[in-house]
Structure 1
Amino acid sequence: MNIILARDISKSVTPVPPLHRTAKRHEWTRIHRGAYLDLQGTEPDDVSQESWHAAKIIGLAASTPIAVISGLSAAIFHGLPMLYSRIPNLVHVTRASKSTKSEWAHTHQAKLAADEVVEVAGIRCTSITRTIQDLAGTLSLPELLAMADAARAREVDLQPLVSVNRFGRHLRWAVEHASDRSESYAETWSRYHFICAGIELPLQQPSVIARDGTFIGRTDFGTRDGLLGEFDGKVKYGKFLKPGQSAADAVMAEKSRENSLRDTNHELTRWDWDVLRSQQTFLNRWDSAKQRAALLPPPTATLELRPMKKPVVTNWTDIFQWNHAAIG
């Protein structure tokens, strides 16, 4: 997808029609004053909400390079986990001085230290640590913990958050419980329920290994006494298909995997978003599965915590093309 900036068109030696007329003719989408998005054949519904917002960020940065992308917008540009309901319409920015209201931006006034500003795809954003600090009063504890988990998985130093005064209790709690083994917001939310209930945390992302050393599978959670658990988002069969694999093939492969796990005398339980929304419902499901696991013979496979792969972070320069010289 291509981002067209008015300043690039105005530098053209050859006379060209006004950009808004060209945009209308080509059905480009206006993402900021003097900036349009050319989907280049991509259907609008196929563009993620995060990508739409990222395009707005790029358009704004070209128009106002002095502003620093911050808050929810910085979280999106950093690729931190966020509920869709949190994705804002306006781009959040931080300035040292006050500014007038804008139809494109939500401006926050604050002085940022030099180490609190970084470049992402050539655009100035608050650092991941500063972004989490700024959102401590906006996000719920599970959401804050999910961002702290993602930061820890990227080996970001969260220790500076411990000494922050504003919403300090929330930040210290998130730093204390952050884990580098959480792969999704749903996993974090599940762990949040365990933490709040005071239940001993199960192993995260354990690999199930047969007695002969064969790798059988990996689940979101597991206990040494025979209980495995995982979140079922109901979208993985379509979103993460292997090349040439149909949704039906994926379902059959998952059934085979589940049978292999159960064959090791492990109880396997799953939950979805509806279960996660109620802590008591979630805990009841876990407790019921634990009771079933206690009735099974001893597991014939062991659980191992193997090194996690580094998280894949969206590179916005792979998604959009724009004139980087226009920014900065």
Structure 2
Amino acid sequence: MLEILDVPNAHNDGLILAESLWAAGLNTRAVRALLANGELVRIRRGVYSLGATWRGANSDDQYRLFVRATVVTAEQPLLLSHLSAAALHNLPIIGPWPKVVHAINNDTAGGSSARFTTSHRSVVEPEPVTINGCAATTLARTLIDVAATSSFLVGVTMMDHALRLEGERAENERRKGVAGAPALSKEDLYAELAIVHPRRGGPKVRRVIDFSTLLSANPGESMSRVRMHELGFEIPELQVRFVVQGRDYWVDFYWPGVRKIGEFDGKIKYTRGATLGDRHPGDVVIAEKNRENLLRPEVLSFDRWDWDTAFSPRLFYEFMIQHDVPRA
């Protein structure tokens, strides 16, 4: 039934407005039928998505669709902030996304919550950027707001990710001879913190900036490092190079005092992502095993852990103790 829709005009990067359905000749009864059989999914009143699009999206993409749908249906323009702005900036989150959309609104009395929107007051009026047609706080401001209002784990994970990607972007532009913007740095974040001067959470933000690094290659490594810190283990050196048989090998974590290598073994490398590329997952597993076999003689121990282990403080503590990771 949805074939009658003029897809290029009716779809807004995954969103379908009710007006497009009516213009295509569908009535309320027809839309209800599409919802019932799963061809359509209602995201917000008056905003829909194709069922296949919604079901094929991960939780990050689903929350982004919800955020954009809320912007489309808002009575007044929204300046997205906090975790909602983070989602549009494609920052990773550990744990679930919120059920509401966060926005800056200085007309509210001390911040307010509605059914789908949570409004925040700001000491300093944010400078907006436009992402997918939505106004949002800048990357630096977003990181400060998230660090002030979220857990240490969420703040560090997002900040690590942003610093790494910004560093990679600037380096790629330099190699291509492109005069791009300087990479976002920790100094920029300290300066942004001084400007924003949040009413609450300022000291926590500073701790997040202090702890953050561009050397964490993925959220799993960031989470592992936060767990080590919280559980009282020695923070290892990151992305350490070993030269074996004339070749360079980089490891996630290295404790030089006990000559121990540690690696976060994310399942994503065996299913999708840059590590897999166009190779078969089995080939990646064999390559990882061969790499480990080359590195083991260079150290006293080589340990791997996965997402489930790092996500659980109890499991991670037990793993660290069992494998003699030094305490701080």
Say whether the fold is shared (TM-score over 0.5).
yes
| Greater relative contact order structure (CA < 8 Å, 6+ sep) | 1
Which residue in 2 is equivalent to 1:90? 100
User: Does the aligned pair in 1 maintain the 2:147–2:205 contact within 8 Å?
Assistant: yes
> Displacement of 1:102 after TM fit?
5.1
Matched, 1:277 2:292: no
Which residue in 2 is equivalent to 1:322? none
Q: Distance in 1 between matches of 2:28 and 2:127?
A: 36
Question: CA, structure 1 residues 133+23, in 2 after alignment: closer, same or farther (shift >3 Å)?
Answer: farther
Q: Distance in 2 between matches of 1:59 and 1:32?
A: 6
Q: Within 5 A, what are the aligned runs for 1:28-47?
A: 28-39=40-51, 41-42=52-53, 44=55, 46-47=56-57
TM-score using structure 1 length: 0.72
Matched, 1:17 2:26: yes
Question: CA, structure 1 residues 20+259, in 2 after alignment: closer, same or farther (shift >3 Å)?
Answer: farther
Q: Distance in 2 between matches of 1:126 and 1:139?
A: 16
Unaligned runs of 5+ in 2: 1-12, 167-182
User: Does the aligned pair in 1 maintain the 2:41–2:54 contact within 8 Å?
Assistant: no
From 58, 75, 96, the equivalent of 2:86 is: 75
Partner SS for 1:108: strand
Matched, 1:222 2:254: yes
Question: CA, structure 1 residues 43+29, in 2 after alignment: closer, same or farther (shift >3 Å)?
Answer: closer
Q: Within 5 A, what are the aligned runs for 1:136-151?
A: 136-151=147-162
Which residue in 1 is equivalent to 2:129? 118
Q: How many residues align?
A: 281
Q: Distance in 1 between matches of 2:53 and 2:265?
A: 29
Q: Within 5 A, what are the aligned runs for 1:267-306?
A: 267-272=301-306, 273-275=308-310, 277-278=313-314, 280-285=317-322, 288=324
> Displacement of 1:249 after TM fit?
2.8
Partner SS for 1:257: helix
Q: Distance in 1 between matches of 2:152 and 2:89?
A: 19
Bigger proportion of residues as helix: 2
Which residue in 2 is equivalent to 1:208? 242
Which residue in 2 is equivalent to 1:56? 66
Unaligned runs of 5+ in 1: 292-328
Paired residue type of 1:277: P
Query: What's the Cα RMSD here?
Result: 3.3
Partner SS for 2:118: strand
Paired residue type of 2:272: K
Report % sequence identity.
26
Q: Distance in 2 between matches of 1:191 and 1:71?
A: 23
> Displacement of 1:229 after TM fit?
0.6
Partner SS for 2:262: strand
TM-score using structure 2 length: 0.72
User: Does the aligned pair in 2 maintain the 1:204–1:220 contact within 8 Å?
Assistant: yes
